[in-house]
Amino acid sequence: MDEAIRDKVAQLENYIMKNCLWQFNSRGWDRRKQNAGVLGKTTQLLCDEAVENPTPLEKCYWVDAVCLDRAYRELFPWIQSLGKEEIKTLMGHLHAHLDWLTIDGSLNLELKVVNY
């Protein structure tokens, strides 16, 4: 990942860490599922793609994604100058790093308890 993408990922991640509570579920598998749901739907919104919400859980992810989409468009106007593939790549890097930060690289051992 080059420096420009790393900087953009850091900006987007910083917003999530300071303003969103959804990434702090108490179980690792919940965090992974929520990160995928919210960031996946945010990516679709940023790319002006249709978003399907067939279940109540999907609707919950969508609500958080709408908030994130609006914030990203307002606070980071550079995101609107990116093409769809660039947005998908950027959000993929953000998703991977957020998973590492909040799950895989976390020192919170409770996240890894299989019976929790």
Q: List, for residues 80-102, the tens digit of each pLDDT value.
A: 999 999 999 999 999 999 999 98
Quote the CA–CA distance of 103 and 94 in Å, as a whole number.
Answer: 14
pLDDT over 70 at 67, yes or no:
yes
Residue 106, C-beta contacts closer than 8 angstroms, at least 6 positions apart: 28
Amino acid 51 reads V
Q: Which pTM does this prediction carry?
A: 0.91
pLDDT over 80 at 15, yes or no:
yes
**Averaged pLDDT score across all residues of the chain:** 92
Rg of the Cα atoms in the chain: 14
Integer CA distances (angstroms), 33 to 12, 65, 71, in order: 19, 14, 22
Quote the CA–CA distance of 15 and 10 in Å, as a whole number.
Answer: 9
Q: What sign does the dihedral 87-56-104-101 (CA atoms) show?
A: positive
Quote the CA–CA distance of 53 and 59 in Å, as a whole number.
Answer: 5
Integer CA distances (angstroms), 79 to 18, 27, 44, 55, 100, in order: 19, 31, 13, 29, 23
